[in-house]
């Protein structure tokens, strides 16, 4: 069954940045980044930026923080560095930036992943949150995981027409807590 859409609403294209976290990938062989770029542009969104950084906390955090500060970027999607090896540090780099965690993202991602790869989904620490009114989604580094996250979650939640609710319709209010704090201290 297709998810419900409000056909009276117009599609709202978002600006999405894609970050691949890898010590070994280059743009020529970044299949996960390619998968995300293809999915988001086919959906009607705009690729705002794309980069590859090594599995290093400072490099990952620096890149994502610069995109969070950019008012032209609505969403950041990362791929890679969510496993358990010593070099897998993407959640450690990005979760401290989250002003709000999105625990449901991980739960739904693992539910979708379990149907495809069984208990191997436990080897992913996929996570998501909001920082500076920017959505951040932290995905595993495989093209399959990127397809599952996009097709099963992000395509719907980043579509303003999706009912009963979606991330796009609440975007104007993501920074209310920041603005409220500013007015209290002013």
3-state secondary structure of 59: helix
Query: Between the CA of residue 173 and those of 84, 94, 132, 170, what are the distances in Å?
Result: 35, 22, 11, 6
Res 24 pLDDT > 70: yes
Q: Indicate the pLDDT class of residue 179, thresholds 50, 70 and 90.
A: low
Instruction: Check residue 178 and give its pLDDT.
Output: 64
Contacts of 52 (CB under 8 A, 6+ apart): 19, 20, 21, 22, 25, 26, 27, 30, 33
Domain residue ranges in the chain: 15-185
For residue 103, the surrounding DSSP H or E stretch is: helix 103-117
CATH of the structural domain 15-185, one choice from 3.30.70.1230, 3.40.980.10, 3.90.420.10, 3.40.50.970: 3.40.980.10
User: Cα(113)–Cα(109) distance, rounded to whole angstroms?
Assistant: 6
173 vs 107: which has the higher pLDDT: 107
3-state secondary structure of 87: coil
pLDDT tier at 184, thresholds 50, 70, 90? very low
* Torsion-angle region of 133 (φ positive above 0: left; ψ -120 to 50: alpha; else: beta): left
Calculate mean pLDDT across residues 96-115.
96
In the predicted structure, residue 52 carries a pLDDT above the cut 70: yes
Mean residue pLDDT of the chain comes to 93
pLDDT, tens digit, 9 for 90 and up, residues 72-100: 999 999 999 999 999 999 999 999 999 99
Rounded-to-integer distance, Cα 183 and Cα 5, Å: 37
Please state the rounded mean pLDDT for residues 12-26. 96
Distances (CA, A) of 179 to 14, 73, 108, 182: 22, 19, 30, 5
Give the pLDDT score at 174: 87
Query: In whole angstroms, what separates CA 1 from the centre of its chain?
Result: 25
Which residues make Cβ contacts (< 8 Å) with residue 59, sequence separation at least 6? 53
pLDDT in tens, 159-168: 999 999 999 9
pLDDT, tens digit, for every residue of 137-151? Answer: 999 999 999 999 999
């Amino acid at each position: 069954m297709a998810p419900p859409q409000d056909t009276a609403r117009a599609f709202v294209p978002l600006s999405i940045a894609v970050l691949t976290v890898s010590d070994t990938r280059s743009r020529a062989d970044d299949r996960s980044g390619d998968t995300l770029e293809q999915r988001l542009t086919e959906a009607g969104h705009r690729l705002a930026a794309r980069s590859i950084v090594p599995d290093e906390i400072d490099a990952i955090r620096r890149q994502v923080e610069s995109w969070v500060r950019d008012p032209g970027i609505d969403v950041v999607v990362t791929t890679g560095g969510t496993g358990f090896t010593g070099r897998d540090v993407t959640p450690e780099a990005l979760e401290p930036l989250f002003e709000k965690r999105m625990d449901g993202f991980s739960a739904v991602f693992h539910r979708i992943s379990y149907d495809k790869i069984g208990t191997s989904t436990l080897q992913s620490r996929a996570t998501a949150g909001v920082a500076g009114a920017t959505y951040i989604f932290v995905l595993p580094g495989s093209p399959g995981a990127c397809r599952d996250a996009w097709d099963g979650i992000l395509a719907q939640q980043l579509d303003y027409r999706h009912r009963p609710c979606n991330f796009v319709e609440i975007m104007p209010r993501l920074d209310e807590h920041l603005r409220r704090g500013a007015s209290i201290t002013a």
